[in-house]
Amino acid sequence: MKKNLKCFTLAVAVVSAFVFSACKESPAKTATKANMYFGVAIQPGDILDESKAKLIADNFNAIVPENTMKMVNIRPTKTLWNFSDMDKMVDFAQKNKMMVRGHTFIWHQQNSTIVNQIKSREDAFALINENINQIMTRYKGKIACYDVANEIFNEDGTFRKSLWYRWCGTDLYEEAFRIARAADPDAKLFLNDYSHEEAGTPKAEAFYEFVKSMVEKGVPIDGVGFQLHLCTDYGLKEDALRENIRRFAALGLEVQFTEIDVRMKMPASEADVAKQKGMYETLMRVLKDEPNVSTYMTWGYTDANSWVPATFHGYGDAHLFDKNLKAKSVFDSLVEMMRN
């Protein structure tokens, strides 16, 4: 009798575990149901490792190559195109029904040595034209949106004196959007930047005015990227963020949160951990409220492999999964917010 009871209890436990796991929806699915993109920047190794690939596919419904599509990697020399890592990422995304962001065509960093051969404005236009056409033709219908240009402003609101700007002024930026529109008319085209998310700063104002002028001239731009590399030391001014988002909405533009992370001074205090959670949550709440925001991309998923400590010495733990790839409570909270 006792043995029968034991068997019965065991059977009930097994069945309930099965039912529970069958019903438990993955965060990726939750995001899709919520009609939003919850994504992550990945590196080629992430999808070669089975357990990391599963973690990414289960928890996110969008990806962006952290470095793979940058010129230095995808076109290391004039005649050498290295599409293999990008192809793998795009295949991975297709298999798992994930959206892909393309990042990025025009930037002042991670260019290949081809740029040293630029001797004229025409050379600069020709190179960007080739790069955009090659990449967007190859991934037509598979990459949903692109950062056509990235980080073209300084903090004081002047244009960054990159090699692109020195050769072409702002003409190249605008032309790149036209080239991209022609290459894949269905892809959405973005201008992306950091520290311009809160209305009222010199950079935010200059960025907005430039984008407004593009819209007025009929340059084919669909939206703007707010990178949102945040730090608990500075917090986040929600009102100024919303004000900025709304003025882009008034121009008919989408805003995507493109590179979210929230770094903390290490070792992190309990207060900072709570503040970090609050900042991630604020962004999710803003996304849910503002109709022209539906993309929440995080810049890397784990503290084990992060660009943050190398760039901001003494800072870290900026991501949603810890060094052991365990989801932090902030991650669960974001999923809960997407669910409701």
The set of catalytic residues is: 151, 259
Q: How far is the CB of 89 from ligand 9MR (least distance, A)?
A: 15
Confirm or reject binding of residue 312 to ligand 9MR (CB under 6 A): no
Count of other CB atoms within 10 angstroms of residue 13: 10
One-letter amino acid of 30? T
Q: Which of 46, 184, 198, 259 forms a contact with ligand 9MR (CB under 6 A)?
A: 259
Confirm or reject binding of residue 154 to ligand 9MR (CB under 6 A): no
Q: Is 189 helix (H, G, I), strand (E, B) or coil?
A: strand
**In this structure, what is the dihedral angle of CA atoms 104, 110, 116, 120, given to the nearest 10 degrees?**
30
* Binding track, positions 213-252, relative to ligand 9MR; x by CB under 6 A: --------------x-------------------------
By C-beta, is 70 or 275 nearer to ligand 9MR? Answer: 70
What's the rounded Cα separation, in Å, for the pair 127 and 155?
A: 27
Q: How far is the CB of 66 from ligand 9MR (least distance, A)?
A: 5
Q: Which of 67, 129, 133, 305 forms a contact with ligand 9MR (CB under 6 A)?
A: 67
By C-beta, is 41 or 187 nearer to ligand 9MR? Answer: 41
Q: How far is the CB of 312 from ligand 9MR (least distance, A)?
A: 10
Q: Return the bridge partners of 263, or none.
A: 231
| Site for ligand 9MR, residues 104 to 133, rule: CB under 6 A | 109-110
Q: Is 110 helix (H, G, I), strand (E, B) or coil?
A: coil
Asked whether 161 and 211 are in contact (CB, 8 A), the reply is no
What's the rounded Cα separation, in Å, for the pair 86 and 75?
A: 11
Tell me phi and psi for residue 97, to 5 degrees: 55, 50
Number of residues that bind ligand 9MR (CB under 6 A): 9
What's the rounded Cα separation, in Å, for the pair 41 and 65?
A: 5
Confirm or reject binding of residue 305 to ligand 9MR (CB under 6 A): no
Q: How far is the CB of 218 from ligand 9MR (least distance, A)?
A: 28
Burial class of residue 270 (count of CB atoms within 10 Å of its CB; 0-12, 13-18, 19+): exposed
Residues near 26 by beta carbon (within 8 Å), at least 6 away in sequence: 58, 59
What's the rounded Cα separation, in Å, for the pair 37 and 26?
A: 14
Q: How far is the CB of 186 from ligand 9MR (least distance, A)?
A: 24
Confirm or reject binding of residue 170 to ligand 9MR (CB under 6 A): no
Confirm or reject binding of residue 197 to ligand 9MR (CB under 6 A): no
By C-beta, is 149 or 335 nearer to ligand 9MR? Answer: 149
Q: Which of 83, 159, 307, 312 forms a contact with ligand 9MR (CB under 6 A)?
A: 307
Q: Return the bridge partners of 223, or none.
A: 190, 254
Confirm or reject binding of residue 303 to ligand 9MR (CB under 6 A): no
Q: How far is the CB of 116 from ligand 9MR (least distance, A)?
A: 18
What's the rounded Cα separation, in Å, for the pair 204 and 146?
A: 21
Residue ranges binding ligand 9MR (CB under 6 A): 66-67, 109-110, 150, 194, 227, 259, 307
